[in-house]
Amino acid sequence: MADAFDLLVIGAGSGGLAAAKRAARHGATVAIIEGDRVGGTCVIRGCVPKKLLVYGAEYRELLAEAGSFGWSVPGHHCDASRLLANVRHEVDRLNALHIGLLEKAGVTLINGWGRFEDAHTVVVGERRLQARHILIAVGGRPQRLPIPGGELGWVSDDLFLQDQLPASVLIVGAGYIACEFAGILAGLGVAVTQVYRGERLLRGFDGELVAVVHEGLEGQGVTLRPGLTPEAISVGPEGFTLLAGGERLTAEALLQATGRVPRLEGLGLEAAGVNHDGRRIPVDAHQTTNVAHIHAVGDVTDRVNLTPVAVDEGRALADALFAGGTRTVNHDLVASAVFTQPELATVGLSEEQAVERHGAEAIQVFRARFRSLRQALPASGPRCLLKLVVERASGKVLGVHMVSSHAAEIIQMAAIAVGMGATKADFDRTMALHPSIAEEFVTMV
């Protein structure tokens, strides 16, 4: 006899948790299945621990510049082991918090890995579960390189489990995970070499902003090696060796940061009749798969792989299923950030995207490049870049982009304006808040 629920959620990450709690609030009986720790990628091995490490790495620059502001901080040193332990302690706290919130919401937590037996039944160990609606919210996992020795070295998940950091590391990849960990590890005193096969970092982001991130990474001491295609990885007494582009690069540790893929293996999607292409589960605007009562949210759909998107998808789905909601998630206007040092943050179209969509003559770009007041006394550090991409005929702001300290905090507010269809004239009418970095957005001419 199978246990029966109104909603059965497979995966207790951001999207699954949001959907389960919202559905329970609407009066549905809900169970959520998780074979790992409750919280998912973001809480356990992603956004939260990574951002804590970013904060820790930033202290190197702050302490180095302290003398410019009259502070004497002799002999500063980071105990990386203590930092890593403190981060894990915070993750443990959040894991327990999320378990408590599920219990408070009346959601049944089932520990174990779920797989479809058929379209209506999910098996966890010896337990059989059925529900009116089933939600797949299993997220993604880091992928390894398909090369000899590709099973060697760390992926991003592994870094948070370390008790101490190596003296040197090779990072393979050019995406946001690779760039963020390059900045983190360099800030914590590790000698970092970042290897990537393309000619630029952060493909898909505005090229002008990426150039500033490139400059910032080099300023931190990261050795950037573009144009080298990884061919093989080996490990020996001297550490890890990466054969790339005919060169042999060696370091004490190696991190593969070459992207993430949806976690489809072991789900039994074929038994449920759920379509997938081996890399993602396609869904419609209402998060529904080809099977009417089976839904999917978050990274497993591989649309916009960001925590707030998964949360919004989960809540919108629960509202639709159990409260008559009709709202769908807008995936076209999503703010994002790369937590390098300095941060890159963006919302809307990049200059390249705007040119491709509207034509070069139809857009106008406004920019400001300067050293922030925060850096005036030390007279060091990367310069800020702020950028507005505007449709010339209407004056509508198509994109807001920046590289600077606190960029993510600023872009969050700019996203509201862009979402409301603000024009350059609206920005110009806004009184500047001086002295601040963000005031440049309303004073550009």
Q: List, by residue number, the catalytic residues.
A: 434
SS3 94: helix
Q: Cα(351)–Cα(353) distance, rounded to whole angstroms?
A: 6
Place of tokens 């981060």: 87
Tokens of 301: 């759909």
Contact between 107 and 24 under an 8 Å Cβ cutoff? The reply is yes
Within 371-426, strands assigned E span: 384-391, 397-404
Contact between 388 and 444 under an 8 Å Cβ cutoff? The reply is yes
Q: Cα(377)–Cα(374) distance, rounded to whole angstroms?
A: 7
Q: Cα(429)–Cα(206) distance, rounded to whole angstroms?
A: 26
List phi, psi (to 5°) of 258: -115, 30
Q: Cα(345)–Cα(402) distance, rounded to whole angstroms?
A: 6
Contact between 11 and 33 under an 8 Å Cβ cutoff? The reply is yes
Q: What is the CA radius of gyration of the chain?
A: 23
Helix (H) or strand (E) holding 340: none
Q: Cα(440)–Cα(421) distance, rounded to whole angstroms?
A: 19
Tokens of 324: 């008559």
Give 263: exposed, middle or buried? Use CB within 10 Å, 0-12, 13-18, 19+.
Answer: middle
Q: Cα(267)–Cα(123) distance, rounded to whole angstroms?
A: 10
